[in-house]
Amino acid sequence: MVSFVYVSGPDFESLFPLTKREKPVPNTTVLGKPIAVWIAQTALSSGFKDIIVAYPSISGQVREAIGERASLIECSGKPTVECVTEALQKAEEDDIVLLVGSHIFPSEFLQSSLESWNEAGGRLLAVVVPDQLPAEEKAGRIGVDVEFIGRYVRRAGSFGEGTFPYAFSGAILGEREELVSTFSEVRNINDALLDLFRLRKPSFYIYSGRYNTLSSPWQLLELVKSLLTETAGVFVSSSAKVSPTAIIEGPVVVEENATIDHYSVIKGPAYISRGAFIGAHTLLRNGVSVEPFAVVGAGVELKRSYVGARATIGSNSNVTDSVIGEGATLRPVVVTLNYDAYEAKKRGEAYRKRGSIVGEGAVVNGGTTLRPGFVVEPGQIYP
């Protein structure tokens, strides 16, 4: 048997400027469920019986969803390396799958990693993924090069120190004693991981399937898109209130107590969470996630965007390719532009359309146009 341990900490991962720096990433909801719940449920579906989730300030929603099926450790005020050690020592089994950081993957990720670990004879194993991150999203990530002859990690370092063909996925498989020894010798999580790669020379497994990491707010959009690909058809909760004049074209999920007002058009893939309100004459399409109790006002066009819990988008706004934080407010007639001709010409095929990041609790006043890539920090009133 093998224990599954997932650890996060604000000293090495954050969704700033969408959230405050100290806010735990695992509490962020995507498609109505906190990140920690997505990860724990993947482990459960993969057959793990002993699951430990450890990070500061575990939310009530996480406790309610997985508190009876996973051991929850709230390690507030501690460096992440101490949190890792505490979680490893709580594990029931000597063989461990350790996930450092918030990464979303299907069950096959864990199953194929375990198979590769068995093939390596139970030797310490690191799971890596092909490096596909844009340059601006590599900050703090660990890059890895591998030696195919002998199947070991040849070199590792932080992106920016050199060119690496692979990125560390966050998953390490090994024996508890060796992992505890690695993480108890240093005070910094990245130093511990680099020591593990450089000194212990683990075996490796390259995973090339679906995999999402959360090293920046923009990656929430990639995660929403990825998760929505698994949605098929139209699901509307029996307690949702959908106007007979609304049009819903799947794949679309409408959760309990959500409201979709007159003449709205929802073109999937799209997700409308519990208690959310979609105003009259709105258009939602192409990869939208509206989180719990968010409000999308009348006449809004919303495309390829994430709208955080209890956020409000005022009437007649146009929001595309944007990330709106929890409790943020866009007053009426706000436009987020998503295309910069100069940047598109400079970057060529590498150019990605990006709207705005509006941090949690921020306010964007009515009639404002935000240029591509603009950031409104948490709690800020703009302009």
pLDDT, tens digit, 9 for 90 and up, residues 170-207: 999 999 999 999 998 888 899 999 999 999 999 999 99
Taking Cα atoms as reference points, which of 111, 73, 40, 29 lies closest to residue 294?
29
Percentage with pLDDT > 90 across the chain? 87
pLDDT at 135 over 80: no
Measured distance CA(209)–CA(220) in Å, rounded: 18
Domains, the chain, in order of start with CATH, read 2-216 (3.90.550.10), 227-382 (2.160.10.10)
pLDDT at 137 over 80: no
Provide the pLDDT confidence category of residue 322 given band limits of 50, 70 and 90: very high
Question: pLDDT at position 232, please?
Answer: 86
> CB count, 10 Å around CB of 21?
11
- Tell me if 35 sits within 8 A of 102, measured CB to CB: yes
Angle between helices 189-200 and 176-184 (to 10 degrees): 120
Question: pLDDT at position 41, please?
Answer: 97
Question: pLDDT at position 243, please?
Answer: 98
pTM, two decimals, is: 0.95
pLDDT at 351 over 90: no
Per-residue pLDDT tens over the stretch 30-76: 999 999 999 999 999 999 999 999 999 999 999 999 999 999 999 99
- Kindly list the distances between the CA atom of residue 238 and the CA atoms of 183, 257, 258, in Å, as whole numbers in the listed order: 49, 8, 10
Question: pLDDT at position 360, please?
Answer: 98
Range of weakest confidence among 70-74, 147-151, 334-338, 344-348: 344-348
What is the pLDDT of the chain when averaged over all its residues?
A: 95
Mean predicted confidence (pLDDT) in 355-361: 98
Measured distance CA(74)–CA(265) in Å, rounded: 42
- Dmax over Cα atoms in the chain, in whole Å? 64
Taking Cα atoms as reference points, which of 16, 55, 17, 21 lies closest to residue 35?
55
Question: pLDDT at position 185, please?
Answer: 82
pLDDT at 340 over 80: yes
